[in-house]
Amino acid sequence: MTPLDRGLDKARVLIEALPYIQKFAGKTVVIKYGGHAMLEQDLKEKVMLDLLLLHSVGIRPVVVHGGGPEINSMLTKVGKESHFIRGLRVTDKETMEIAAMVLVGKLNTDIVSMLNRFGGKAVGLSGMDAQLLQAVKKPMQMQNSQGELEDVDLGFVGEVEQVRPGILTTLLEQGYVPVISPLAGGEDGESYNINADTAAGEIAKALKADKFLLLTDVPGVLRDVENHDSLISVIEEKEIPKLVEEGVISGGMIPKVECAQEALQGGVGSVHILDGRIPHAILLELFTDGGIGTMFQP
């Protein structure tokens, strides 16, 4: 390939992206950042560059990050076992302190530092800053051996009760990229750990985001989980119950799809579940004709 051919290929990519850049300029995009894209250095850097490109062309990205594997690793180092119920971490006082240390003290700082090193204007927050996220203790019931419902104590696991997005609006208007750890304060004075998907969805609803992207370790919704070519590119909200009934949406995908559905019902323009293990997944989903994940729309 000659230098001219390479240059023409780059020009074609930019021309394909142009209508999407024009369409999304000035719009708010909430990105839930998690999975392998947070663990591998090369993927981390590509996600940061994607975010900076969005910001540079006038899109307003808001990042909400998880940190489950890193919390597990730290708990192991201090000799503490991780327990989960229905995918939620049972969080006693010590676990809550470790989760806050990892999420705010390490991961949030690392993301902000990397964005700023690449030329961005990132600001790190937790859901407790400016009362961004207010939570209550998450209730849960499970059947016992007699088939009766019993209350289950998850500890300091929270359910978002209210979002006060004022701090985010201020930062976005000033040209900053907010990076948020999924912790919340309660009226009882306690701190609560929030599922990162849920926190991101609630923030997307509060901001009436144009798009909400969930970076995962799966390609999206597959009609046949054994066949990656069976990806469903677009799903309308009304189609979700039928796909659940048919078993197309099942297992760990159900809570993500429920999160997507709630976001759509809360006024978010569209929700995208995409594979964060693919380099530049965000750009491929937003700026190319084909996209790479599953888009949910009203």
* Residue set of the binding site: 67-68, 89, 193
| Rounded Cα gap, residues 111 and 117, in angstroms | 10
C-alpha dihedral over 280, 286, 291, 294, to 10 degrees? 100
Q: Classify 154 as helix, strand or coil.
A: coil
Judged by DSSP in three states, 227 sits in coil
- d(CA 287, CA 14) in angstroms, rounded, equals 9
What is the DSSP-derived secondary structure letter of residue 157? Answer: B
101 close to 108: Cβ distance less than 8 angstroms? no
In angstroms, the CA 175 to CA 155 distance is: 38
Q: Report the greatest alpha carbon distance in the chain.
A: 74
Rounded Cα distance, 265 and 244, in Å? 18
Main-chain phi, psi angles of 90, to 5 degrees: -70, 120
Contacts of 234 (CB under 8 A, 6+ apart): 294, 295, 297
Residue linked to tokens 């994940």: 293
What residues form the annotated binding site for substrate?
Answer: 67-68, 89, 193
Q: Angle at CA 7, nearest 5°, toward 117 and 14?
A: 65
